[in-house]
Chain A
Amino acid sequence: MQNRKAAANAIVYTLLVVFAIITLIPFAHMLAGALKTKFDYAATLFLPEGDGFLGIGWDRITLDNFRRLFGELKIGRAMLNSLFLASVHAILTVLFCSMGGYALAKLRFKGREFVTTLVLTALIIPGPLLLAPGFKLLYQLGLLNTYTGLLLPGLTPAFGVFLFRQAMLNGVPGELIEAARIDGAGEARIFFELVLPLVRPMMGAFLMISFMGTWNNFISPQIILQSPDLHPLSVALNNLKGLYGTDYALIMAGTIVSISPVMCIFLLLQREFIAGLTGGAVKG
């Protein structure tokens, strides 16, 4: 029995380690590729071969790809654009969705059922359906090729309002709000100083989700933004890929530049993020 258990454990760990390695290989391949010249890229799979430590040509490792990206190819501009768009979008989305969710979860008013049904119905509308009519509307409003046109339509996803409503239904006691009201606190003060701190994990998770959503969005900026100066990383890098598509080492460096900010933020917010991601699903 003991032996069987040990054998089973060995199999489980082996499988996990193998899968972990398979998962990490594309990252390693990208990292190694970004540090090579175009010519070394074609010659070796990972780091360039040579007579240095571990049989690796350490002297052939180069940061040239990054230098080119931030120098002549001006990827820094696109990175700032992405940072700006994703931050503004994340902060405003969390604010607006938490406001809406709060009203639906904790305030009594005529029409609450109607708005709640509206939010639930909106959950099933697939995004691509709105691409063509949304584009036409932005054209009519004169908002094509502007950040306003790119950001405004996505600031109040029904999905976000719904998530905050669910979090506040359980996480914010009604008596607490009543007590604050009797003490003479205004509605805005109750919301910002009492309610929001109670749903902080949800705010953290949704901040992350929204930030990532905008950072990784491609189709909207591709359709809406024409000026290269306005392009976020996703579109800018894809255009570089069109121009220097066979220079894989360069594209890999660009990919690293593009994914590392999200990775860093995730490592900071990790615990809240995974809790918020699965919390709603498991409780429901």
Chain B
Amino acid sequence: MKRLNLAPWLFLTPFLFLFSLFTVWPLINSMFLSMQQTYGPGRTEWVGLHNFKFLLTDPLFWKATANTVKFAAGSLFIQLPVALGLALLLNRPALKGRAYFRLIFFAPSLVGMPFVAMLFAPIFARHTGLLNKTLNYFISGWPIDFAWTQNYVMSALIIAALWMSAGFNMVYFLAALQNVSRDLIEAAEIDGAGAWHKFWHITLPEILPIAGFVTLLSVIGSFQLFELSYIMLNDSAGPDNRGLTIVMYLYQTGFEAGDLGYASSIGWVLALMLITIALIQRRILKRHEEH
């Protein structure tokens, strides 16, 4: 006697229904949309591959891409090393107050991106801002009206994101470090290995899988930057589009100018970039594992 096994499908119904309706269908639809020019969601015109052709020579899109890459480089080369450094400091055996330090460093990542933007806008302000006043106090001749959110937008965003995310990534690094076998480290110490040697030859290879995972998440997240810039710059891309990011450009074309078609093609190019990054990251990690 074999009765039809319905239970699994009942458990999966909410996922399958909502996933088909709100992910699969829009995904298919966005392929068609990317070949249309729309004027709001209701009116549309078929343009074939014109959107993609236009995108390749669209200076605003390339400006957005350059800005986004700058931001991602900031999180890759500044934020992740800081996160790893904090984790290494916290990973010292017999450290007192580890839980408190961890809580303090993690706290900023509880502040959502929109609220980080609101919190940092006044910090970057020209005359009254905390950052300029502090820098002016410590560095003689630092201009009190230094224009962070006018002329150095990407640097400002990298600083705010550093504050927000370093502690979050630190938690991952710390978990990885605590899994590194103490025996290996002690063996190296007996052999007289220095701190740098221990880190480079034992700790780093051991945490590489998680480090790779954190790096990938971090870069993918950076490529989707929107709120931080948009809100900090008062719902705009800033002077001369210095704060324009790829997702902000998608938002502007789709929801301010009303061209959902062009916005879809930007979305597809972004997806392509992210998939490429993921593939490159996998290649690099694989090569390291082979060595």
B118 touches A237 (CB 8 A): yes
Per-position 1/0 for A69-112, Cβ under 8 A of B: 00000000000000000000000000111011011100111001
A129 touches B14 (CB 8 A): no
A281 touches B110 (CB 8 A): no
Chain A residues within an 8 Å CB radius of B179:
282
Residues of B within 8 Å of A, CB-based: how many?
A: 84
**Is B54 located at the chain interface by the 8 A CB criterion?**
no
* Interface size bracket, A side: 35 or more
A109 touches B5 (CB 8 A): yes
A107 touches B19 (CB 8 A): no
CB nearest neighbor in B for A249:
B122
The winner among B7, B9, B42, B101 for most chain A CB atoms within 10 A is B7
A145–chain B nearest beta-carbon distance, Å: 13
Chain A residues within an 8 Å CB radius of B251:
131, 219, 223
**Is B172 located at the chain interface by the 8 A CB criterion?**
yes
**Is B25 located at the chain interface by the 8 A CB criterion?**
yes
CB nearest neighbor in B for A257:
B115
Question: Known: A100-B14, A278-B172, A282-B210. Is A218-B101 also a contact (CB below 8 A)?
Answer: no
**Is A179 located at the chain interface by the 8 A CB criterion?**
no
Chain A residues within an 8 Å CB radius of B15:
96-97, 99-100, 156, 161
**Is B247 located at the chain interface by the 8 A CB criterion?**
yes
**Is A200 located at the chain interface by the 8 A CB criterion?**
no
A23 touches B263 (CB 8 A): no
A137 touches B25 (CB 8 A): yes
| Contacting residue for B128 out of A41, A152, A161, A245, CB 8 A | A41
Chain A residues within an 8 Å CB radius of B260:
132-133, 135-136
Chain B residues within an 8 Å CB radius of A251:
118, 121-122
Complex Cα gap A266–B110 (Å): 8
Complex Cα gap A120–B19 (Å): 13
Question: Known: A124-B274, A153-B22. Is A242-B30 also a contact (CB below 8 A)?
Answer: no
Chain A residues within an 8 Å CB radius of B246:
128
CB nearest neighbor in B for A24:
B104
| Contacting residue for B8 out of A25, A103, A131, A252, CB 8 A | A103
Question: Known: A156-B15, A282-B210. Is A137-B29 also a contact (CB below 8 A)?
Answer: yes
| Contacting residue for A109 out of B9, B103, B234, CB 8 A | B9
A150–chain B nearest beta-carbon distance, Å: 12
**Is B48 located at the chain interface by the 8 A CB criterion?**
no
Chain A residues within an 8 Å CB radius of B110:
212, 259, 262-263, 266
Question: Known: A128-B247, A219-B227. Is A26-B123 also a contact (CB below 8 A)?
Answer: yes
Give residues of chain A (206-222) contacting chain B, Cβ–Cβ below 8 Å: 212, 215-219
Question: Known: A109-B9, A135-B255. Is A259-B115 also a contact (CB below 8 A)?
Answer: yes
B263 touches A132 (CB 8 A): yes
Complex Cα gap A218–B114 (Å): 7
Complex Cα gap A136–B264 (Å): 11
Identify the stretch in B73-81, B88-96, B139-147 within 8 Å (CB) of chain A at 4 or more residues.
B88-96
**Is B52 located at the chain interface by the 8 A CB criterion?**
no
Chain B binding surface SS class: helix
B14 touches A132 (CB 8 A): no
Question: Known: A19-B86, A136-B33. Is A259-B130 also a contact (CB below 8 A)?
Answer: no
| Contacting residue for B11 out of A29, A102, A245, CB 8 A | A102
A16 touches B224 (CB 8 A): no
Chain B residues within an 8 Å CB radius of A122:
19, 23
Per-position 1/0 for A237-249, Cβ under 8 A of B: 1100110010010
A23 touches B112 (CB 8 A): no
Residues of B within 8 A of A (CB): 5, 7-12, 14-16, 18-19, 21-23, 25-27, 29-30, 33, 41-42, 86, 89-90, 92, 95, 101, 103-108, 110-115, 118-123, 125, 128, 130, 133, 163, 167, 171-172, 175-176, 179, 210, 213, 220, 224, 226-227, 231, 234-235, 246-247, 250-251, 254-255, 260-261, 263-264, 267-268, 270-271, 274-275, 278
* Given A134-B22, A282-B179, 15 extra CB contacts under 8 A: A12-B95, A103-B11, A107-B11, A125-B27, A130-B26, A218-B227, A219-B251, A234-B112, A238-B114, A248-B125, A248-B128, A258-B118, A259-B110, A278-B175, A281-B172
A–B complex contacts, Cβ < 8 Å, 19 sampled: A12-B92, A15-B89, A19-B86, A103-B7, A103-B12, A126-B224, A129-B267, A129-B268, A132-B267, A133-B27, A133-B33, A158-B23, A219-B227, A219-B251, A223-B251, A237-B118, A258-B112, A277-B172, A278-B175
7 nearest CB pairs, A to B: A216-B112, A133-B26, A153-B22, A100-B15, A133-B30, A129-B267, A103-B11
